[in-house]
Structure 1
Amino acid sequence: MTERHGPRIVVIGNCQAVGTAQALRLLLPDARVETQPIAYLKRRFRDLGGFARHLRDADHVFSHFFPDGFLPGGNVLALQKQVPHLRLFPTIVFPAFHPDVVYVGDVAGLRLSKLVQGPVGPSHSAIALCAFLEGLSVEAALGLYSGAVFERLGYDRAWDEGAAYLLKSARDMQFGLEPELARWSRRGCFMHDANHPKLPVLGDIARRLAVEAALRPLDLRVEDYLPDALVDESMWPVYPEIAERYGVPAEFLFRARPVRGGPPRLLDLPAFIAESFAVYARVPRERLTAARVTAWRSDPEIRALFTSAGGA
């Protein structure tokens, strides 16, 4: 491999940072690009001061927002005070194509180990979880996956609400995404699930970071040259009723992460619900928490959707 002698770039963040850094390595062939996953910062640097010292001789530092709890000494804004050339860039969260996805467990704990792991990892179906908690059978739960129910649950608002949240959060860090979101939308479904964008999205983010740092990225599409690292994460289908709404191909299979290089496990909806119920039956009831499902169960009209499906 040819040794690189260009600018030192550090990319800090969640799993999306890996793909962003990968794209920067391609677009900037002479750059020295390193990735620092926020989950490992404490293990690698002990505290904020140690991490700041590591970053001071970097030419460019690009970071997702990370809150208190990942590194003793403060969050990314405290880090930015010690590393003034750090630039924030947005995490892409967009639930419109996959509005049923929720995390279950101690979401506020900011640790994967505190989340309940389902058939395809930490992502769960809000409908399946609520159905289980309401005592429905797998067969009754399956009947809830319909366009009429999705509309009653507000899934038809996911595009407008998701776009508003994404664009505001990006503007708040001076990284407006209005042109990019319009372009991504024309590509069809640009997300693997609500929290994992496809590679062209991360390629666009990487190019923006390079250009706005006065670097000169190659003029090419990263997806033509690189594998999509997030394909190795779990993947969520686009339910047919959702696909029809947005004019994208429907998808029918849930995909778990491959293990040791083997093929991924694929589950259709009945199998996914059955395996989810089996997981929930083994988990203490107090851990089966998701804010959206809690709100549904407190709403008499929404709860009636589930109790009626169960014949109650």
Structure 2
Amino acid sequence: MVLRLPRLLKAVSRSWAGRRGSEEVAPNGPRIAVIGNCQAKGVAEAVRVLAPGARVRLVPMSTLGRRGQGLGAFAATLEQCDHVFSQPFPTGFFAEGGSEALRERLPRMRLFPSIVFTAFHPDAVYVGDLASVARVKLVPSPLGTYHSAITLFGYLRGLPGERILGLFREDVFARLGYLDAWDLAAADLIASSRAIGFDLSEDLLRWSRGGQFMHNINHPRLNVLGDIAARLLREAGLAPRPVAVEAYAPDALLDDAIWPVYPPVATLYGVAGSTVFKRRQRRGAPPETLGLDAFVAESLAIYRTQPRETLTCHRVEHWAGSPEIRSLFDAA
């Protein structure tokens, strides 16, 4: 009997779906919970690739403490897991404490760091009230919550858009420290990782040799999250598959905001440079990009709608106290 092509394709599809489904829900696979911010989704996806059969539960940090759940009750829901991987989270989600308090209840829990690395994007900052990490109040921007420090400070100094655009040049970047940002960014990342016993010094060296490894200041590329997932599995006594996760899974953070590496910064690090920004997009929707002029214009329009006292940022507060930087902007 000859099986026609459409039927053959359907049969193959059903057969593959059955094998794939059995692998993902293997009854003896380890039960793993991954807790964290937007990076945790990539870690969870990487665990699924690296540990076939693992039953992975993603717990977004934004959901912690919802509906009045206490830390004890949350810990009880994780007791059934064989492994718990969590990024550090502060007191504020739970009255009883943060991730350290949770680890006291779950001694097998392993912490992994939140990746923040600003050297590729030294101009990107948050604006607004950061006092409460659990419930931050941030000023919106054309890219969600990411702002240009140059644009913001130019606005606060009363500069029009065309003069602000003129500040995006190499000599200004040099005087603002944008071309000397690597060592401080590396030191900050390594220090924060060592503080939780997950030293990233060797990983950072490897990532940097591969070129640009960040989409923006706190969104690493999937290969970074894959390396973290593999290390978590190894340290938990599980043998991860020897594969590159980014070759098998989509990078979900590509759908979020992408900040460009300005050309003078890109030249330093040997990566591609541009001044094209990308907005956050719905999965499957085409990307929407902004040139520098459009990004600055939209940012200024937003700032005009905000009470001036809400436009707070540690970077620009420091610049406001520097006569040299004030004169740099005022002379633009």
Shorter-chain TM range is over 0.9
Q: Distance in 1 between matches of 2:326 and 2:73?
A: 50
Work out the CA distance in 1 between the residues paired with 2:232 and 2:68. 25
Secondary structure, aligned partner of 1:109 = coil
Query: Which residue pairs with 1:128 in the alignment?
Result: 151
- Tell me what 1:28 maps to: 51
Q: Partners in 1 of 2:76 and 2:263 — Cα distance? A: 50
CA positional deviation for 1:81: 1.0
Alpha-carbon distance between aligned partners in 2 of 1:213 and 1:44, rounded to the nearest angstrom = 31
Q: Residues 34 and 188 (structure 1 numbering): CA distance in 2 closer, same or farther, change over 3 Å? A: same
Opposite residue 281 of structure 1, the aligned amino acid is R
Rounded to whole Å, the distance in 1 between the matches of 2:171 and 2:186 is 23
**Change in 2 beyond 3 A, CA 1:260/1:221:** closer
1:271-290 → structure 2 map (5 Å cutoff) = 271-290=294-313
Q: Is the 8 A contact 1:46 1:72 kept in 2?
A: no
Structure 2 counterpart of 1:4: 26
1:153 is the counterpart of 2:176 = yes
- Say which of 166, 183, 195 aligns to 2:206: 183
Any idea what the Cα deviations from partners look like across 1:20-69, whole Å, max 9, x if unmatched? 01000111011111111111111167111111111122111111111111
Instruction: Quote the residue 1:234 is aligned against.
Output: 257
Query: Is residue 2:229 matched to residue 1:202?
Result: no
Equivalent of 1:75 in 91, 98, 101:
98
In 1, Cα distance between equivalents of 2:163 and 2:185: 29
- Give the unaligned 5+ runs of structure 1: none
Q: How many residues align?
A: 309
Residue type at the aligned position of 1:145: F
Q: Which residue of 1 aligns with 2:185?
A: 162
Q: CA RMSD in A?
A: 1.3
CA contact (8 A) 2:129 2:136 kept: no
1:88 maps to: 111
Taking structure 1 as reference, are residues 19 and 260 closer, same or farther at Cα in structure 2, changes over 3 Å only? closer
**Structural mapping, 1:34-49, within 5 Å:** 34-43=57-66, 46-49=69-72
CA offset digits 1:263-288 (Å, max 9, x no partner)? 22200101100000000001111111
TM-score (norm 1): 0.96
| 2:78 matched residue in structure 1 | 55
Report the Cα offset of residue 232 of structure 1.
1.3
Instruction: Note if contact 1:28-1:216 (Cα within 8 Å) is conserved in structure 2.
Output: yes
Secondary structure at the aligned position of 2:304 is classed as helix
**1:164/1:255 Cα in 2 relative to 1: closer, same or farther (>3 Å)?**
same
Bigger Rg, which one: 2
Alignment-mate amino acid for residue 55 of structure 2: R
Q: Which amino acid aligns with 2:326?
A: R
Q: What is the CA distance between 1:113 and its match in structure 2?
A: 6.0
* Over 6 Å off, 4+ runs: none
- Quote the offset at 1:109 in angstroms: 2.2
Which letter maps to 1:178?
A: S
Q: State how far apart, in whole Å, the 1-side matches of 2:225 and 2:160 are.
A: 40
**Matching residue's letter, 1:294:** E
% same residue: 53
Summarize deviations over 1:209-266 as a string: whole Å, max 9, x none: 0111110111110011110011111010000000011111112210001147422220
Letter in 2 for 1:209: L
User: 2:273 maps to what in 1?
Assistant: 250
Alpha-carbon offset, residue 155 of structure 1: 1.3
